[in-house]
């Protein structure tokens, strides 16, 4: 095993040094812990996500994608709170037996670090701590952001009558996984890119502060994540299947029904799911225009704690029978 | 696999609820991220540590010890900065195939959570985030503490002439591992306890603020960790072998020479290694008395960037030939 300190230093510290001074980092990597200076009047927003090989990403995924994706899924949680990302810590567990020699290890690490750092830079996030250990390939990323006190987007503010909307398009994560399993390897393919290089919607979360009554990121799938809003806000949902914005090439790749199922329950989309008052939709959409991001109304919140779908009858049954939801039949309340 | 949310909720959230309100936690586990309110005028101190089965702890270690130890090694980094611990995040990767059935999984998790929480409570640390994934057993712990601005103990302040001291006793980590490998399983054995249930020296770190010129925790072994002080402070070290405080039962278990080697390079002791002016030693020792903890002077810093040992000649050669140190011969400068 290469010495831990060498690894950290070579691939993760040097490129960060330039940015540390300007981002509240009093003492960066290299001591027992890092010293940070939060801004006065701000709340800290923290979350951790682990990405495990063969569970969250395929073993053959490019190291660049592995680095990007591990950070992206963690940043997505900050986006869902409306937070600004500032710092992250990265715990890499690396199975050196998977590499033929030290050179191969170095090449993998360099590519991994490029993917991780590029996304750090895109979101002004400084890597302030790390750990490299030996074992099955896995990456734990802790993200730390900031928010003015009282402005967080939580899961608990949705009310019956609020509209339900999503940023961007759905089903791309599951669609990309399906393509990967069929042998597609071109990261430029829009679905594969959605699966392996998801874009955390930090700018959208920030833009929706003060408008969204509840928010989360779609990681488990629309229906599963709607259930989290239900549990926290005590509202049900009515979804219009025909309104679901499908990822590019999803329908042509999988067919209409599989595409809709991917959008409903596929997960790994990392779009924001928000609820908001009907009067605020136009303003919210306007705020996302400069980001090149759509905000599509896909349904509304209701009092009955179930989910129902209007649209094709077979898929409506799929929705109302979805695990995690109590069966909820009848007309939309 | 048990549902992730059930796991987190059942074993990690409920026992935390009581303590969250009183510890700056505005919004606890259960949303996309946690909201924390740092104290004004304080720096944040953050670090991450990963513990992997068969690398950092034996597969057969009790779940209680695994939970305790994963947190302890992370908290030890805060101790080394002189920080007060406040919050932690815990990413557990669990291989459910290792359990015969769900009942066995539950039993393991309950025991693990007891070990983790007991140490949380001991150090007033609130678990504010978690992630549970499936894979080879591994725990990533991010710890967050606070420090008044400018009061951190770093690795870079040691000067030639400073004395070198350690809290408690050395060699217990390596001695416990040796006993474990010989089949000893009684956690009440002082060496096994040092190995599997290390105590992070947070109170000692706090007490040594303003006195220690440099500090770190001994995780890699005395000689390896002295090299970190050397690299950050640009000083060498002279160590008196006869002065090394050995863990209880270490010498009787391993013999004198192996005991000294365990103390020099065994690692996993999680004691604090500090440098301080000769005039401050008595005051520092006095401050640790209420903690029931000794502070033993084991040598001094010198200008030549090597390490030398006074004492048995064979072990002196072992010290000066230790990897990570340039060969440094001759009399103590």
pLDDT at A305: 86
In a domain? residue B244: yes
Which one of A148, A173, A197 terminates a domain? A148
A179 & A137 share domain: no
Chain A residues with CB under 8 Å of B48 CB are 89-91, 129-131, 140, 142
Lowest-pLDDT range of A14-23, A202-211, B263-272: A14-23
Residue A144 lies in a domain: yes
Residues with Cβ within 8 Å of A101's Cβ and at least 6 positions away in sequence, in order, are none
Give the residue from chain A lying closest to B93, CA to CA: A50
For an interface test with B, the pick among A31, A221, A267 (most B C-beta atoms closer than 10 Å) comes out as A31
CATH number reported for the structural domain that contains residue B28 in this entry:
3.30.1330.10
The residue of chain B with its CA nearest to that of A143 is B33
Domain presence at residue A269: yes
The pLDDT value given to residue A185: 95
Query: Looking at the predicted structure, is the pLDDT value of residue B203 above 90?
Result: yes
Whether A170 and A129 map to the same domain: the answer is no
Q: For residue B9, what pLDDT is reported?
A: 63
Q: CB–CB of A138 and B93 under 8 A?
A: yes
> B133 to chain A: which residues are within 8 Å by CB?
50, 52, 55-56
Domain identity same for B305 and B207: yes
Q: Which domain holds residue B139?
A: 4-148
Query: Which of the four pLDDT bands, split at 50, 70 and 90, describes residue B20?
Result: low
Q: What is the DSSP letter of A102?
A: H
| Subunit contact A142:B35, Cβ cutoff 8 A | no
Task: Please give the average per-residue pLDDT across A53-75, as a whole number.
Answer: 96
Residue at B24 is within a domain: yes
Flag whether B111 is marked binding: no
Lowest mean pLDDT among A233-242, B25-34, B170-179, B288-297: B25-34
> Under an 8 A CB cutoff, do A32 and B217 touch?
yes
Q: Which of B28, B29, B48, B59 to mutate to test the interface with A (most CBs of A within 10 A)?
A: B48
The answer to whether residues A187 and A248 belong to one domain is yes
Best mutation target among A33, A78, A87 (most B Cβ atoms within 10 Å) is A33
pLDDT tens per residue across span B206-237: 999 999 999 999 999 999 999 999 999 999 99
Domain match, A39 and A136 both:
yes
Query: What ipTM was reported for this prediction?
Result: 0.90
In terms of domains, do A138 and A261 share one? Answer: no
Mark whether B291 and B171 lie in a shared domain: yes
Residues A199 and A288 in one domain: yes
Q: Are residues B197 and B253 in the same domain?
A: yes
- Report the mean per-residue pLDDT for chain A: 90
pLDDT averaged over chain B?
Answer: 90
What pLDDT does B17 receive?
52
Q: How many domains does chain A have?
A: 2
Domain boundary among B123, B148, B173: B148
Q: What is the mean pLDDT of residues A48-68?
A: 95
Residue A153 lies in a domain: no
Say whether A135 and B55 touch across the interface (CB within 8 A): yes
Q: Is residue B240 part of a domain?
A: yes
| Domain membership flag for residue B216 | yes
Asked if residue A32 lies in contact with residue A20, where contact means CB atoms within 8 angstroms, the answer is no
| pLDDT score recorded for residue A1 | 45
Which residues touch A202 (CB under 8 Å, ≥6 apart)?
A: A75, A78, A79, A83, A84, A85, A123
Which residues neighbour A225 within 8 Å (Cβ) at sequence distance 6 or greater? A216, A217, A218, A219, A273
Contact assessment for residue B105 and residue B10, using Cβ atoms and an 8 Å cutoff: no
Do B119 and B237 lie in one domain? The reply is no
Residue A293, number of CB atoms within 10 A of its CB = 19
Under the banding of pLDDT at 50, 70 and 90, the label for residue B167 is very high
- Check pLDDT > 50 for residue B1: no
Separation CA B225–CA B231 (nearest Å): 10
Span A186-190, average pLDDT? 94
Question: What are the tens digits of pLDDT across the range A122-166?
Answer: 999 999 988 888 899 999 999 999 999 999 999 999 999 999 999
* Contact: A232, B30; criterion CB under 8 Å: yes
- pLDDT exceeds cutoff 60 at B330: no
Check CB contact under 8 Å for A89 and B46: yes
Establish, for the pair of chains A and B, how many residue pairs have beta carbons separated by less than 8 Å. 186
CATH number of the CATH domain containing B258: 3.90.650.10
Residue corresponding to tokens 């994608």: A65
CB contact under 8 A, A131 and B48: yes
Per cent of chain B over pLDDT 90 is 74
Mutation pick from A5, A24, A48, A220 vs chain B, by most beta carbons of B within 10 Å, is A48
B45 contacts A35? CB cut-off 8 A: yes
- B13 pLDDT band, cuts 50/70/90, is low
Report if residue A333 sits inside a domain: no
- The per-residue pLDDT for A313 is 78
Among the partner residues B33, B83, B91, nearest to A140 by beta-carbon distance: B91
Q: Which residues contact B108 (CB under 8 A, 6 or more apart)?
A: B63, B99
pLDDT digits (tens, 9 = 90+) for A262-277: 999 998 999 999 999 9
A223: which 2 tokens? 């229906």
Higher-confidence position of B198 and A29:
B198
pLDDT of residue A40: 87
Q: Write down the pLDDT at residue B5.
A: 52
pLDDT at B74 over 80: yes
Q: Does the pLDDT at position B332 exceed 50?
A: no
Residues B169 and B315 in one domain: yes
Tokens standing for residue A117: 């750092």
| Across A193-222, average pLDDT | 97
Judging contacts by C-beta atoms under 8 Å, the chain B residues touching residue A43 are: 26, 35-37
A61, two tokens: 């995924």
Same domain, B241 and B278: yes
Report CB contact under 8 Å: A55, B135: yes
């Amino acid at each position: 095993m290469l010495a831990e300190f060498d690894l950290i230093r070579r691939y993760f510290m040097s490129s960060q040094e330039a940015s540390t001074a300007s981002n509240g980092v009093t003492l960066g990597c290299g001591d027992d812990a890092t010293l940070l200076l939060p801004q006065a009047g701000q709340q800290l927003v923290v979350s951790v996500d682990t990405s495990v090989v063969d569970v969250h990403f395929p073993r053959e995924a490019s190291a660049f994608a592995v680095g990007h994706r591990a950070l992206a899924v963690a940043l997505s949680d900050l986006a869902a709170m409306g937070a600004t990302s500032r710092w992250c810590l990265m715990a890499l567990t690396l199975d050196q037996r998977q590499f033929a020699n030290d050179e191969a290890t170095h090449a993998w690490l360099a590519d991994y670090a490029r993917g991780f750092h590029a996304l750090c830079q895109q979101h002004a996030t400084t890597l302030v701590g790390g750990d490299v250990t030996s074992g099955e390939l896995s990456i734990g990323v802790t993200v730390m952001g900031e928010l003015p006190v009282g402005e967080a987007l939580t899961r608990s503010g949705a009310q019956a009558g609020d509209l339900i909307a999503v940023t961007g398009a759905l089903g791309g994560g599951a669609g990309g996984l399906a393509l990967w399993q069929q042998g597609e390897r071109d990261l430029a393919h829009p679905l594969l890119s959605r699966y392996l290089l998801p874009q955390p919607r930090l700018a959208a979360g920030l833009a929706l502060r003060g408008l969204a009554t509840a928010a989360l990121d779609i990681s488990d799938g629309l229906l599963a994540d709607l259930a989290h809003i239900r549990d926290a806000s005590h509202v049900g949902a009515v979804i219009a299947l025909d309104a679901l914005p499908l990822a590019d090439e999803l329908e042509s790749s999988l067919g209409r029904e599989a595409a809709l199922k991917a959008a409903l329950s596929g997960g790994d989309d990392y779009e924001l799911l928000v609820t908001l008052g009907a009067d605020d939709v136009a303003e919210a959409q306007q705020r996302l225009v400069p980001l090149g991001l759509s905000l599509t109304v896909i349904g509304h919140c209701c009092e009955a704690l179930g989910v129902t779908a209007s649209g094709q009858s077979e898929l409506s049954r799929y929705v109302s029978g979805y695990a995690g939801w109590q069966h909820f039949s009848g007309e939309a309340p």
